[in-house]
Structure 1
Amino acid sequence: MRGARRLRDRPVMTGVARVAGVSHRTAPRSSPTGPSHTLGLVAFDTSLAGPTSTVYAIVRAARAAGHPLTVVSARSLDDDSVCAAVDTLCGRAVDGILAVAPTDPALAALASIPAEVPLLAVGAGDAAGVPVVGFDGVSGAAAATRHLLGLGHATVHHISGPAGWPEARERVAGWRAALAGAGVPVGMVLPGDWSVRSGFEAARQLAGDPEVTAIFCANDQMALGALRALHLAGRAVPGGVSVVGFGDIPEAPFLRPPLTTVRQDLAALGRASVEMLARQIAAGVRILRHVRFPPSFVERDSAAQPSCER
């Protein structure tokens, strides 16, 4: 944990000095709409729709609230890279830090940052010692699974996100809870990595089993891959297999068939993230809160009652 030690060992880190009251820049700068705190954002290089859309939502919310925003991209989501990105932001005189840090190592790195630094993890699961704002993945996954069961499917199979991602674990937990609540057999879990290809490969394994009639995918990209695999295998959607995704990417209504999915209000997430960090900065203390927004269910054409292939 060299990066974490580096942050702890620096005696006069710029960000810590400011929030501790030893910098003349502690006083908030004003703008016509209120204090103009300078915020830092730790992002990471990715083509994944969820984290990328979260970053855009934060950027838009910070701009709307009149907060200057400095963005630093971590090389990866390991301890050293995240701590190095935080260290860079502190050296650029930010007043508080937002981090899109959706993996266990990234959250562990944030937990090691000195408590004097206003900090908020965005779009992640629960993490000890780190304030978090995100979505309730358990309830969203449970809603998706209950919808499929309510259509009459005997069980629901799951293409999950990767190990080490709290959001992936939450969606597995919600899927399992819904199955247990309905008293039906637990379907298969096939691990994915959020990519279209991983959804394609997982669904290709499921497509050969005629007993498989319902699949819940942990994100929409994997659902897109699943749709393609099922089509190539001659399994009609939704006539032979129903598919539900998670995320409601912009392309979801235009897929063939339009994708039933779970929607997350990213604009609300961005606004809440900026507001929560601004409160920490104003209070001069890290506020340890975990705030979850309930997602909503979007019914389209990729899920239907089980029936003969057509």
Structure 2
Amino acid sequence: MSGEPGVTDAAGVPGVADAAGVPTMFDVARRAGVSHQTVSRVLNDLPGVAASTRERVRAAIAELNYTPSPTARAMAGRRSGSIGLIQAGRPDYGPSSAALGFNEAARAAGYAVSQASMRALDADALTQAVHRLVLQRVEAIVLISGEREGVGVLRGIDAGVPLVVVASESSPGLHRVSFDQFAGARLATEHLVSLGHRRIVHVSGPADSMDAAERARGFAAVLAEHGLEQRSPIAGDWLPASGHAAGRRIIDDGWATAAFVGNDHMSLGVLRACAEAGVSVPDALSVVGFDDLPESAYFTPPLTTMRQDFDSLGRDIMATVLDVLRDEASAPDRAARVPELVVRASTAAPAP
């Protein structure tokens, strides 16, 4: 992508600053101590910015001699009645359900949704998707991707429209929506501790997943508070096959009486490994999952898990978009919704 403000790339869309140090909207935002969305609102003379903030942004623009792209200003200043949605990563149950909830909430609010999807996160493809949506004059762009890299890429794009991300980790400069994965993991682990388990192992999601990191952090925090031994998590990739491999490791090791598994798909693999080895669940090993898939109540045995209301998450995303469009400066993040513990037959007190 070309990078100079005031110069567009081949697609006619403003890029980010080049290595020569030409100032961008993000430089203005840092100088003024505001978000880049606030800079965009000031440039386009939109409401929702305090007078003192507006003056501070204008002063930063003057100090840096920043020249915004005429294309971006023209696009940002025109209402289209549409929101851009980018889904990056495997079409798993959670992200897909959240996207459906968001689409329904957007329609109810009178907005159309322009959507772009990619099975694997790619920085160039994500940047191009943002630029294509900007060309369609969307009023805001939403990213649903659990991977840290996607949030980093979005933060570096001078899009000229508000950006909202589904991210369980802090995302400075972006508006954030998420479940509290840390709190959910704490509830799952506390459930096992309350049953009397003292040797608990964690099967984690992939290393680049924000949700996986927060769940591992919540698990470790509870064990530390109770003075329990912590063993390194067994890394999975969200898929049942990795859960099956983790289950075999847990059985072969013979140490744990309980497992907190990072999602229900991997829990299914753990349960399969136990069935093959003749290990009774929950008598010999208690298993807790995460997500509450529609099928989880019908696993053998039915799975104790953490329920995430993905429809509500989709509505939270759209509510945040509307808040940002009304008043970007005061729009709150929505990241405090805590998953709900659903107790089924896969957990019990450890055998004597």
Fold conserved (TM > 0.5)? yes
- Are positions 1:194 and 2:238 aligned together? yes
Written as runs of structure 1 = structure 2, the 5 A alignment for 1:62-211 is 62-74=106-118, 76-114=120-158, 116-211=160-255
CA apart distance, 1:66: 2.2
CA apart distance, 1:7: 9.5
2:293 corresponds in structure 1 to: 249
CA apart distance, 1:211: 2.6
In structure 1, stretches of 5+ residues that fail to align are 30-36
Q: Following the alignment from structure 1 to structure 2, what is the Cα–Cα distance between the partners of residues 8 and 125?
A: 33
1:305 corresponds in structure 2 to: 349
Number of positions where the alignment pairs a residue of Structure 1 with one of Structure 2: 298
CA apart distance, 1:8: 9.4
Q: For 1:143, what is the secondary structure of its paired residue? A: helix
In structure 2, stretches of 5+ residues that fail to align are 15-36, 45-72
Report the CA distance shift for 1:47/1:196 in structure 2 as closer, same or farther (over 3 A).
farther
Q: For 1:240, what is the secondary structure of its paired residue? A: coil
The one-letter code sitting in structure 2 at the alignment partner of 1:133 is V
The one-letter code sitting in structure 2 at the alignment partner of 1:110 is L
The one-letter code sitting in structure 2 at the alignment partner of 1:74 is M
1:32 corresponds in structure 2 to: none
8 Å contact from structure 1 (residues 149, 155) kept in 2: no
8 Å contact from structure 2 (residues 257, 350) kept in 1: yes
2:90 corresponds in structure 1 to: 46
Q: Following the alignment from structure 2 to structure 1, what is the Cα–Cα distance between the partners of residues 74 and 151?
A: 28
Report the CA distance shift for 1:7/1:270 in structure 2 as closer, same or farther (over 3 A).
farther
TM norm structure 1: 0.87
- Are positions 1:58 and 2:56 aligned together? no
The one-letter code sitting in structure 2 at the alignment partner of 1:40 is G
State percent identity of aligned pairs: 34
Q: Following the alignment from structure 1 to structure 2, what is the Cα–Cα distance between the partners of residues 25 and 8?
A: 15
The one-letter code sitting in structure 2 at the alignment partner of 1:225 is G
The one-letter code sitting in structure 2 at the alignment partner of 1:253 is A
- Are positions 1:283 and 2:327 aligned together? yes
Q: Following the alignment from structure 1 to structure 2, what is the Cα–Cα distance between the partners of residues 301 and 267?
A: 26
Q: Following the alignment from structure 1 to structure 2, what is the Cα–Cα distance between the partners of residues 188 and 40?
A: 40
Q: For 1:205, what is the secondary structure of its paired residue? A: helix
Q: Following the alignment from structure 1 to structure 2, what is the Cα–Cα distance between the partners of residues 117 and 287?
A: 14
The one-letter code sitting in structure 2 at the alignment partner of 1:95 is E
Q: Following the alignment from structure 1 to structure 2, what is the Cα–Cα distance between the partners of residues 8 and 133?
A: 32
Deviations 1:214-255 (A, max 9, x none): 000111111111110111111111111000001111111111
Deviations 1:156-211 (A, max 9, x none): 10000101111111000000001011111113410001111111111111112333
RMSD: 2.7
8 Å contact from structure 1 (residues 115, 286) kept in 2: no
1:216 corresponds in structure 2 to: 260
2:8 corresponds in structure 1 to: 10
Q: Following the alignment from structure 1 to structure 2, what is the Cα–Cα distance between the partners of residues 154 and 8?
A: 61
Say which structure, 1 or 2, has more relative contact order (CA 8 Å, 6+ apart).
1
TM norm structure 2: 0.77
